[in-house]
């Protein structure tokens, strides 16, 4: 945890520069102090078949879900999520100015109990 | 919002005719009056590695998730979701009559607060 | 139902042996008595673009979500989910001993009401 899951339309595969976004997002989440670096996993799911709105223009979208462990307090999360979305908007600002684009980010809390993990990466950062 | 997310097995990539389904779904959701056209994003995630049930037949499935903003009333949503699933069943009826197939649709509400967006497509439809 | 959804990084596409995992998972879930065999759908979503942690090593991850119908009792689910994660850890034990790897599993309950399905596979197992 956390998981930063990105669905991105194929028509912006290059322009979206997701590897650069993921580097920024992982750093921001780790720097927040809320999440251990060794558990942060950002990834893309490319979308080659879609229709946005009426489908009549070359629309693109990036929908992002941040899955986190349950139980963090809203007042802790709110400022970090605002920083995260500000980072995302800055990353996409040039592209947003050039073409049709929709960005969205939503947080999902993982099940508080039925939730299991094993991770040998954490040991690197201790 | 909303997001119509479709997981579809590769063995029905052509027959599922997802672009035609997405055109119908986007229209139905916009016509419901509950969702603005400019925010509707339908997409496929193709599945090339799966096992359904015992894996002993040429099974196929399409699992659909409609992610919507929180706070709409159940009595508003219920009839629209029933229409949506009726539309989906009609779309797949011929295929369902010919082969093993499982269709499923579930609604998910996005986080009521930790939920952010930026979208320059809405302006087209104002 | 249920849906066993696996996100797996491409750098372990062969070694993860997901078809073998799916066969074990489907059997375990069916044997639990909680889920009908004809509704069990395991699948992979391969991830070709990602960053885990600082991105400085050849990290891999497998994140698994079990989506189930709502309303099962926690005391019924807990032992089955523990067995499921034990099965997953055993499947990946050799790989975990060899490389950086993170495994995670979380349960999600589907919407209790806005949830629809049609499935002609169940009839095979009656």
Interval C23-46: pLDDT, tens? 999 999 999 999 999 999 999 999
| pTM > 0.95 | yes
Phi, psi for residue B71 in degrees, rounded to 5: 100, -5
Query: Rounded to an integer, what distance in angstroms lies between the CA atom of residue A82 and that of residue A68?
Result: 15
Residue range of the domain that includes A90: 3-125
CATH number at residue B15: 3.30.429.10
**How far, rounded to the nearest angstrom, does the alpha carbon of residue B15 sit from its chain's CA centroid?**
16
Catalytic residue among B2, B19, B79, B112: B2
Say if residue A1's pLDDT is above 90.
no
A45–C45 C-beta distance less than 8 A? yes
> Which has the higher per-residue pLDDT, C126 or B124?
B124
The reply to whether ipTM tops 0.90 is: yes
A114–C78 C-beta distance less than 8 A? yes
Query: Rounded to an integer, what distance in angstroms lies between the CA atom of residue C53 and that of residue C95?
Result: 19
B66: which 2 tokens?
């409609």
Query: Rounded to an integer, what distance in angstroms lies between the CA atom of residue B80 and that of residue C79?
Result: 37
| Residue A39 near residue A26, CB atoms below 8 Å | no
Question: How many independent structural domains does chain C possess?
Answer: 1
Model confidence pLDDT, tens digit, residues B43-75: 999 999 999 999 999 999 999 999 999 999 989
Q: Identify the contact set of chain A against chain B, taking CB-CB distances under 8 A.
A: 7, 9, 45, 47-55, 57, 59, 61, 63, 74, 77-78, 81-82, 85, 89, 96, 100-108
C85–A116 C-beta distance less than 8 A? yes
Query: Rounded to an integer, what distance in angstroms lies between the CA atom of residue B62 and that of residue B65?
Result: 10
Say if residue B122's pLDDT is above 90.
yes
Compute the average pLDDT of residues C57-78.
Answer: 96
| Residue A4 near residue A61, CB atoms below 8 Å | no
Buried b (16+ CB within 10 A) or exposed e, C67-89: bbbeeeeeeebeebbeebbebbe
**How far, rounded to the nearest angstrom, does the alpha carbon of residue A94 sit from its chain's CA centroid?**
18
């Amino acid at each position: 945890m956390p998981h930063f899951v990105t669905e991105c339309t194929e028509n912006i595969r290059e322009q979206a520069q997701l590897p650069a976004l993921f580097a920024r997002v992982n750093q921001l989440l780790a720097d927040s102090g809320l999440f251990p670096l060794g558990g942060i996993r950002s990834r893309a799911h490319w979308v080659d078949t879609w229709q946005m709105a009426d489908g009549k223009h070359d629309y693109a979208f990036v929908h992002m879900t941040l899955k986190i462990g349950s139980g963090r307090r809203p007042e802790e999360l709110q400022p970090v999520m605002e920083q995260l979305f500000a980072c995302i908007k800055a990353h996409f600002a040039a592209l947003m100015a050039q073409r049709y684009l929709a960005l969205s980010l939503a947080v999902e809390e993982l099940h508080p109990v039925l939730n299991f993990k094993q991770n040998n990466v954490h040991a690197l950062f201790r």
